[in-house]
Structure 1
């Protein structure tokens, strides 16, 4: 029996846009990989963001054998996506991502001081654009190419607070039976990668930065494919 080539489903952080995947997608497709990209922006006003994300993932993959890659804050939604996709052969890749926190919300998963900071940032029930969160950090240092920076930062959402306060459900069978891979890109996610290893994830690291899939897509692709082929 010939096994179907898996679809690599790329899921961006809710704070960013699908443009964060443009460079990596091009490299993967040039390498002969089948790629799907989930755009979360149209889903942010849904009554349940989690449910909308999971339904959209199932619709994109159509039950095909799948590799699911989630970046940053998308990590919290990977269990639900895994169960929605429902493949018998599933690899779930956390790319410099938060670990899932079933049974609690985004805000509830944070240390108290960080949760307070997030609440104080919210205005009129929405979080401000992510590129305004850290005024002391120059995004030109992270994304030095001006055209690339403009594409990545264009259309960043102001997320409704209901997304931050939504309690995420417990994972199901597909998540539990999947192979879990953690790919660390930045020093900021060192402790998260260590916790992932304690949970049984296969962990690999790259000395890069949080948006390396934008700025160094070939290196990130090599890291991803080598992990999948192990």
Structure 2
């Protein structure tokens, strides 16, 4: 481990930085300096991608050695990696979508999934993520009501421009080591695609918010995957 290891955590734009509240103290106890990128204030920016990359540069005091993105944050990780500009950088996709440069979130979806997403738009905004599922299914994933309330509190309704923004082709992130940490069965095919692309892949049979309910396990898997 580097003398001053720094990890930048990037939550899904559909969630909030509370995604990392349970995992962060475990990482800090293991000797990491942790920075958390809060995407909520950025969703109204003219270009969400540009705002995310600029915020990543400012939230880290010195270049991080690891950037971790969860779920829909995966698409922004190449741009973030370029923005922070570390000489040696590990980029971890945690149950995350893979990059889709040259197209938008909406444009990267299969037709049936794109239709499904469109049905969740009201007055130009996506309904908040917690409304996409039956209440009981979220309770199954995060059984503790206080913890569930914190994680799901005040979720954003994303402007459609975030969903339809075409992401640029990244520049220098080719030098980064890419890791895929699969947490849930829903991301099995994505993990397989990552492996085909040369990512280092590690899989556990947990769930999409395992960093909330099983932070010690997720930390162990994450740090194991980052070993040389």
Instruction: Please classify the TM superposition score into its range, dividing by the shorter chain length.
Output: over 0.9
The answer to whether the Cα contact below 8 Å between 1:28 and 1:35 also exists between their aligned partners in 2 is: yes
Aligned mates of 1:122, 1:4 — CA distance in 2: 47
Structure 1 residues 65-84: aligned runs within 5 Å: 65-84=64-83
Aligned mates of 1:12, 1:42 — CA distance in 2: 13
Matched residue SS, 1:26:
helix
Aligned mates of 1:144, 1:165 — CA distance in 2: 34
The answer to whether the Cα contact below 8 Å between 1:186 and 1:207 also exists between their aligned partners in 2 is: yes
Structure 1 residues 59-208: aligned runs within 5 Å: 59-135=58-134, 138-173=137-172, 175-208=173-206
Aligned mates of 1:135, 1:227 — CA distance in 2: 33
Offset, 1:206 = 1.1
Q: Which residue of 2 aligns with 1:216?
A: 214
Write out per-residue CA displacement over residues 125-177 of structure 1, whole angstroms, 9 at most, x where no aligned residue: 0000100012375211000001100100001000000000000000111x111
Offset, 1:6 = 2.4
Q: Which runs of 5+ in 1 are unaligned?
A: none
Write out per-residue CA displacement over residues 101-129 of structure 1, whole angstroms, 9 at most, x where no aligned residue: 00000000000111111112101100001
The answer to whether the Cα contact below 8 Å between 2:22 and 2:215 also exists between their aligned partners in 1 is: yes
The answer to whether the Cα contact below 8 Å between 2:74 and 2:99 also exists between their aligned partners in 1 is: yes
Write out per-residue CA displacement over residues 183-207 of structure 1, whole angstroms, 9 at most, x where no aligned residue: 0000010000000000000000111
Q: Which runs of 5+ in 2 are unaligned?
A: none
Alignment coverage as a number of residue pairs: 228
After TM superposition, what 4+ stretches of structure 1 lie above 6 angstroms from structure 2? none
Aligned mates of 2:13, 2:64 — CA distance in 1: 24
Aligned mates of 1:137, 1:58 — CA distance in 2: 39
